[in-house]
Structures are given as structure tokens and as C-alpha cells.
Amino acid sequence: MKFDLVVIGSGPGGYVAAIRASQLGKSVAVVEKAELGGICLNWGCIPTKALLKSASVFEYAKHAAEYGVKLEGGITADFEAIVARSRGVADGMSKGIQFLFKKNKIEVIQGFGKLAGANTIEVKADDGTTTLVEADNIILATGARSRILPNMPIDGEKIIGYRQALVLPKQPESMVVVGSGAIGSEFAYFYNTIGTKVTLVEYLPNIVPLEDEEVSKQLERSFKKQGIKVMTGSEVLAVDTTADKCKVTIKTKKGEEVVEADIVLSAVGVSTNLEGLGLDEVGVKNENGKVLVNEFGQTNIPSIYAIGDIVPGPALAHVASAEGITAVEHIAGLNPHPVNYNSIPGCTYTNPEIASVGLTEKKAVEAGYEVKVGKFPFSASGKASAAGAKDGFVKLIFDAKYGELLGAHLIGANVTEMIAELVVAKNLETTGHEIIKSVHPHPTMSEAIMEAAAAAYGEVIHI
């Protein structure tokens, strides 16, 4: 078999790259050893958001009386039904990728793909048969999996990773979540909301440690208010799984503490899927678990590209998609703009949600900028008050000299739907006064963006 392009991996980087290549008239095949859509659609972004939506509905129902709605007979969370709905959503999305592949005449080759040369892939099927596939160009998009710590080996039953957390056979009474990045925080919120006693352990001084410090502190306050036990500056030393409950030994600033839980969820990051790809045999340069590429995703072997979690940069689905499109357009000779890694939004779908782009206040100062900072609390927002969602704020950071937006940090209800405005603003080098003079609709949560910009320049109206 011979194609213009073969993509190894069908996640949000791989399938988007394949479709874009087909649009540009290329003959395309995708090699996939599991479900179409990769981890994101099947075991990551999409099914977790389905779980979180169920948690949100349950949370609303518990507080229905506050909105003047009476629910008789009590409210319960049906854990098995919640999980079943999540799996149904994921299955539907995977079928959607099948449809898109057929529509774009993309051939799917089932099996594990390995580089056998600069233009050759060896595909090994589940039955052991191998097929050689030729391609003018190859894109590696093999993604990542849960990182495993030596003192916390995942057994799939008592110590689990995110995949098992999506499909537990029954709801645990108690859980220790280790790691408070997006994955850990989202699962901590989900399980706590439906009634599991949750302890969240973070090695660094703040939860969601990549976010602006004020955002981290706000989420910690919200989590504690919701009943989550938050342990920052703490390290899991060992997990004893020999008894019915796990005994988790945690080193804290005050000494060692043992926490008992039914389940320990390891959410301490991801490891890239590079094993068995044939990188070293073919001569593709890689180090520290990452494939080295140029600004278009091209490796040191011109016909081979790599995108997504396996290359340096943020391990985010939307980044992989953007990299996939850039790589394909470079292959097609369209001279695309490289991905702007300074304007990548990040989102965490807890309650309150978190969304950010650009520099934190601390990073901006460390980079030598003199900054103007504007902050507007949702407690002063009419829409937030009407929605019963007053936790959080919008924080904007501007370069004091030129007025350019350097960073935006939002925490509150629906802020993951608001961040795109600020990504566009940052890409266009928008200034604070341009945001202030852009009339925002009333009443909306998005007014807080305009107000935060105004606060940075001493022009805020509503606080």
C-alpha cells in the first residue's frame, strides 16, 4: 500500500491532520491500534466532561430550592448511570470520527504502527500479521498515558489512573487524588460532588500549580468550601494496599499523616508513547521522552513529522490539532504560520471553572515587564448574581508601556467559554483600552472582561 501521507495515531492531533491532508488532495491512511479518536475522545477530554456535566446537574438539583424550585423525594446520584452516559457520549464521538474518515476517503489501518524507514511503516495487527505501508510523508501522533510513580504503582483496582477513574464498577466512599493539575482537580470535583469523600494531595505549594497564584488560591477556597480536603506542599511517600482500604502515608509540612481511602487516583502527569515506534532504528532524534521537531513539526528526517503530546510544548488536545494542521500545510507547501505557543489557552472544568492564556503576573514581572493588573470579581456581576455563581474573578495583565495584553486568568462559572475572546485579543496584540471600548453585552459574565481591563486603568465602574 502506498499513500501521500500516513498518520500514526487518531487522537485530536492525528485525525485532524488526516482530514486536513485529505482536504488538500492527499491520499491518506491512519494507523490506529485502539478506538478512533484516541485518548481524548475515548478516555480523556470528552468522557470526563460528560461526567462533570452529570456532577453539575446533580449539584444544581441539590441547590434547587435556592432558585425557588422544589424537588420532592430527595436527590440521589446513580453512579452506574452516570458512567454509562459518559461511555455513550465517548462512543458517539468515536463513531463521528469514523463518519468523517469515510467522508474524507481516509483509510484506517488497524494495528500498531512502527517506523521501518523514512517512508515505510510496519503495521502489526492484533492477530500478529504485519503489513508494510509506504508513504511520501509520515506524521507521528501517538499521544501519552498516565505517568506511574515507583511508590504508587497503578494496579487498576486500588491505585488507579484516569482511565480506570472513568469506569469504576461502583462509587468509592473515599478517594485520595494525587496531583492537582487539570485531571486531578476535575476528578476531585466530580467524585466529591456525587458524595465521595475526597482528599487532594499536591506536592507544590498551590493546587493547579501552572495557573496564576490568585486563581490557585481561589480554587482551593472553593474546594474546601465544597468539602474537599486539600493538602498542598505534601508528598505521598507510600501506599499500603494490603488491607480493605488503602493506607496513604503523606509527608506534610507538619510531619507525616496517614489517610485511609477506598481508592487512590494517580494524576501526576503523563508519559509519552514512544516505545516500539522505531525512532532510534530510523534515526529520529528524541530526548527526555520527546521527539525533537522544528516549528512545523518536522523531525531531523524531512519526511517524518511529529505532533501532540510526544513533542515539546503543552500536552493539550487543541495544541495537537493546531500542530497537525500546521504540519500538513507545511507538507503541502502552503507556508503556514507556526503555532503561537504564547497564546495557547488552558482550561480546567471544575466548579468554578478555570481558563487562562499568556503570562501569569509573576511570570510577566520575571520577564522584565512593568505591568498593569486589572481584576474584577464575579460577586459584582449582575449575571453571576442572577445565576447564583458569584465565586471567582477575571484578572488581566497588561504591559504598562504599550498597553498590550500579556495574560488573562479567569476563574468562575462558564469561563472556559469566555477565554477565546482573550486568545483572539492577545493574538491581535490588543491593548487594554481597546478592550474597555469594546462594548460587551449586558447582563453577561463576559462583561467582567471589560471591567477587569477598566480596573487596570482606574476606570472600572461597578466596584
For residue 303, give every residue at least 6 positions away whose Cβ sits within 8 Å of its Cβ, in sequence order, or none.
118, 119, 135, 136, 137, 138
120-124 and 112-117 as β-strands: parallel, antiparallel, unpaired?
Answer: antiparallel
Nearest to 290 by CA among 269, 268, 266, 315: 315
Active site residue 442: yes
CA distance 9 to 427: 30
Place of cell 485532524: 16
Nearest to 262 by CA among 181, 122, 165: 165
The active-site residue out of 318, 409, 433, 442 is 442
**Burial bucket for residue 400 (CB in 10 Å: 0-12, 13-18, 19+):** middle
The catalytic residue positions are: 442
